[in-house]
Structure 1
Amino acid sequence: MSHTLLVWLVGGVVLVGAGFATTLLPTWRARGQEQRTAWSAARAAIDSAAVSRDAAAARVVEAERLLARAESIAAARGGTSAARAAAEHAREADRLWRTHQ
Structure 2
Amino acid sequence: MTWVVWVVAAVVVVVAGAGVVAVPRLRDRDLRRRTAWSAARAAIDSAAVSRDAATTSQPEAEQLLARAETLAAAHGGPRAAESAHDHAVRADELWRAARD
TM over 0.5, shorter chain: yes
Aligned to 2:40: 42
Matches within 5 A, 1:54-73: 54-73=52-71
> Which amino acid in structure 2 is aligned with residue 90 of structure 1?
A
5+ residue gaps, structure 1, are none
Query: What is the TM-score with the length of structure 2 in the denominator?
Result: 0.97
Aligned to 1:14: 12
Aligned to 2:84: 86
Query: What is the TM-score with the length of structure 1 in the denominator?
Result: 0.96
Three-state SS of the structure 2 residue aligned to 1:72 is helix
Asked if 1:27 is matched to 2:28, the reply is: no
* % same residue: 58
In the TM superposition, residue 27 of structure 1 has moved relative to its aligned partner by 0.8
> Which amino acid in structure 2 is aligned with residue 45 of structure 1?
A
Measured in 2, the distance between the counterparts of 1:27 and 1:77 equals 20
The superposition leaves residues 31-69 of structure 1 with CA deviations (integer Å, 9 ceiling, x where unpaired) of 100000000000000000000000001010000000000
Measured in 1, the distance between the counterparts of 2:78 and 2:52 equals 28
Q: Which runs of 4+ in 1 moved over 4 A?
A: none
CA RMSD of aligned residues (A): 0.5
